[in-house]
Amino acid sequence: MQDPTTQLSNAFSKAITTAFGDDYASVDPLIKPSGNPKFGDYQANVAMSLAKRVGDNPRNVAQKIVDTLDLGNWGEKLEIAGPGFINIHLKADYLVSQLAAVAADEHLGLDQADGQKVVVDYSGPNVAKEMHVGHLRSTVIGDSIARVLDFLGYTVIRQNHLGDWGTQFGMLIENLIDEGADAGTHISDLKTFYQGAKKRFDEEPEFKDRARKRVVALQGGDEQTLQLWRKLIDESKLHFNHAYGLLGVLLTDDDIRAESFYNDQLPGVITALEEAGQLKESQGAKVVYPEGFKDEQGNPFPMIVCKSDGGFLYATTDLAAIAYRMNELKADRIVYVTDSRQSQHFAMVFQTVLQAGLNTTGAKLDHVSFGTVLGPDRKPFKTRSGDTVKLIDLMEEAVIRSQKVLAQKAADLTDDQQKNVARVVGIGALKYADLSSDRIKDYVFDWDRMLALEGNTAPYLINAYVRIQSIFRKGDIDLATVDASKITLGHDAEKALALKLLQFGNVVQSVASSLEPHRLCTYLYELASGFHSFYEKCPVLKGDVAPELRDSRLALSALVARTLKSGLNLLGIDVVERM
């Protein structure tokens, strides 16, 4: 179904072409929810920009649009205001029929895309390295994007581009041997393991020498070396899966397509670049010059794809991965979620694909970049001793802290229930703090803010959901029995809430196109706030509320609860029924 924003946009587009001609078919009517009943339910702001193009004044342009516009039986009235805003008032029964359609649909009224395939490349931790706070962002943002696209009916293929290849495996394997690789023990702490290997590599010439030889053996396919290498991968996967489990993300072992998977496709990448006439030599290395990239002196900036010793690079692997995703996975769109320090890398890879004609399927390539997590000193977030913060530690602390915050609420829950609530709220708060800030920007990590029960936080949203559940519990009413077609919108707060509910579809669509989950967070926060002001002004269960009005308000509340739950789910955040 079409939400009001889309429906209005279509009606306005039609009016604009009728009034001004087909040249204006692609003009965006700029429909926005007004946010204030004084200015109607929605506003169209197109007249101001259109005026310049058609050479008339904005109010005349607005008048022409209004005269031509056909809102069928759903428009109440139109007003032209100020310099040329068009205020749109919609009929209450139109809004109610929209709400009923949304409520009747398992996808809350969202149209389903027909099977377009989207690859989402996210998380991508590195073998034998501890996942840190930086991986939180890729994992959480990527997972939310995957969920949103899936909810919209895309076929989502998650790809975990695990870093499992490179010269560092020489020292890691040697360290594994020295620590007793065969003893059947597990690496308890990846961070200590990696740092230990690195320290020995830097300080012990004999170890360094062994490590170097080990790299050669690994690249040469020596079976014993490969076994040790696989052990490192399996050990690391245990750690990653533990983190994914706690975090509640969708990634499984099936989503792993690690760097080494592409090893035997790398020579083919070089051949393809050569055949496309893109391969150049620079100081013994094989390079590509992606158009538009210059070094500091203004000279063409190369992307190395094969070192002078024959070794391949991160970029070579990414070129092979793109080919695989286009040709084997048949992706229509490929989305990469990494921090903004890799922006140039992806821009160069995408440009290379373009100029070498390797994009055989016309797939759309997107880099979803994000900023850094900062500490209170506004420097990259570190532990007190200046170490990187382990993701696992962060999650554990989130749960402990949320337990403390929730203790003040003193709900009558069993110990187990309390633990579960603390986990859901704590992990939810951690993820939400990350998702709710504009991803491009850095954000300051702040426990108190993310766990606050007021404000744009997960605890606030989960609490709003719990509150609605408790209304139904108090009234002893089954949430599934309410009838959205019986909703009446007599009070301003009811209408405002209805309008907010009807924006859900448009917001989710905008997350899918912009790949910016914070838009959904902002929306859910506004929805929850809208619910709270509705609930203050419009009693639901009080004795003097007529039964029809009570049922209408219950139906409205039920739809808010469902929308909150679905919305949070799209962010990868759970809800609880009481807290």
Residue 336 CB, shortest distance to ligand ARG, in Å, is 6
Query: Residue 574, exposed/middle/buried by CB under 10 A (0-12, 13-18, 19+)?
Result: middle
Is 121 a residue that touches ligand ARG (CB under 6 A)? yes
Of residues 338 through 357, those in contact with ligand ARG by CB under 6 A are 338
By beta-carbon proximity to ligand ARG, the closer residue of 160 and 563 is: 160
Q: CB nearer to ligand ARG: give 163 or 426.
A: 163
User: Which CB atom, from 13 or from 160, has the smaller least distance to ligand ARG?
Assistant: 160
Q: Which is nearer to ligand ARG, 126 or 369 (CB)?
A: 126
Nearer to ligand ARG, 126 or 225 (CB): 126
Query: Which of 5/338 has CB closer to ligand ARG?
Result: 338
Q: Where are the alpha helices (DSSP H) in 121-255?
A: 133-151, 168-178, 190-203, 205-219, 223-247
DSSP for 81-113?
Answer: ETTTEEEEEE-HHHHHHHHHHHHHSTTTTPPPP
Q: Which is nearer to ligand ARG, 336 or 531 (CB)?
A: 336
Distant-in-sequence contacts of 553-557, Cβ < 8 A, 24+ apart:
553/494, 554/471, 554/472, 554/475, 554/477, 554/482, 555/103, 555/482, 555/483, 555/484, 555/486, 555/487, 556/99, 556/484, 556/487, 556/494, 556/497, 556/498, 556/501, 557/468, 557/471, 557/472, 557/531
Helical H segments across 204-342, by residue range: 205-219, 223-247, 266-275, 314-327
Listed ranges 118-126, 182-190, 221-229, 389-397: which one lies at the site for ligand ARG (CB under 6 A) = 118-126
CB burial class (10 A; 0-12, 13-18, 19+) of residue 88? buried
Tokens for 372? 């850094």
d(CA 568, CA 398): 18
How near is the Cβ of 377 to ligand ARG at its closest, in Å? 24
Choose between 161 and 500: whose C-beta lies nearer to ligand ARG.
161
For 534, phi then psi, to 5°, come to: -60, -45
Binding flag, residue 130, ligand ARG (CB under 6 A): no
Whole-number minimum distance, CB 199 to ligand ARG, in Å?
A: 21
CB of 260 to ligand ARG, least distance (A): 12
Query: Which is closer to ligand ARG, CB of 369 or CB of 552?
Result: 369
Of residues 47 and 120, the one with the C-beta less far from ligand ARG: 120
Closer to ligand ARG by Cβ: residue 163 or 170: 163
Question: Three-state DSSP class for 79?
Answer: strand
- Return the residue of 64, 147, 161, 518 that touches ligand ARG, per CB under 6 A: 161
Owner of token pair 């979803």: 368
Min CB(323)–ligand ARG separation in Å: 12
What does the alpha-carbon distance between residue 203 and residue 542 come to, in Å, rounded to a whole number?
75
Q: Which helix (H) or strand (E) holds 77?
A: strand 75-81
- Residue 491 contacts residue 537 (beta carbons within 8 Å): yes
In the structure encoding, which two tokens stand for residue 111, read together?
A: 């149209």
Relative to beta strand 85-90, strand 75-81 is antiparallel
Cβ neighbors of 344 (< 8 A, separation 6 or more) are 293
42-44 sheet: strands from edge to edge:
31-33, 42-44, 85-90, 75-81
Q: Is 336 in the site for ligand ARG (CB under 6 A)?
A: yes
Q: Which stretch binds ligand ARG (CB under 6 A): 71-79, 119-127, 263-271, 423-431?
A: 119-127
Q: Rounded to whole angstroms, how far apart are CA atoms 193 and 198?
A: 9
> How many residues contact ligand ARG, by CB under 6 A?
9
**Closest separation between CB of residue 132 and ligand ARG, Å?**
10
Q: Using the rule CB under 6 A, which residue among 29, 84, 109, 124 binds ligand ARG? A: 124
State the nearest-atom distance from the C-beta of 537 to ligand ARG, in Å: 49
The residue length of the chain stands at: 579
Q: Which stretch binds ligand ARG (CB under 6 A): 34-42, 120-128, 499-507, 537-545?
A: 120-128
Smallest separation, CB 304 to ligand ARG (Å): 15
Supply the minimum distance, in Å, between the C-beta of residue 574 and ligand ARG: 27
* Region 310-329 residues binding ligand ARG, contact defined as CB under 6 A: 318, 321
In whole angstroms, the minimum distance from the beta carbon of 421 to ligand ARG comes to 33
Q: What residue number has its CB nearest to ligand ARG?
A: 124
Residue 146 lies near ligand ARG (rule: CB under 6 A)? no
Dihedral angle computed from the Cα positions of residues 136, 140, 145 and 147, in that order, rounded to the nearest 10 degrees = 150
Q: How far is the CB of 317 from ligand ARG (least distance, A)?
A: 7
Applying CB under 6 A, which of residues 163, 302, 459, 517 lies at the interface with ligand ARG? 163
The 87-116 contact track toward ligand ARG, x by CB under 6 A, reads ------------------------------
Least distance between ligand ARG and beta carbon 135 (Å): 7
Comparing CA positions, the residue from 80, 106, 109, 107 lying closest to residue 95 is 109
Cβ of residue 344: shortest distance to ligand ARG, in angstroms? Answer: 13
* DSSP calls for 6-58: HHHHHHHHHHHHHHH-GGGTT----EEE-SSGGG-SEEE-HHHHHHHHHTS-H
Site for ligand ARG contains 126 (CB under 6 A): yes
- Of the pair 228, 334, the CB lying nearest ligand ARG is at 334
- For ligand ARG, the binding residues (CB under 6 A) are 121, 124, 126, 161, 163, 318, 321, 336, 338
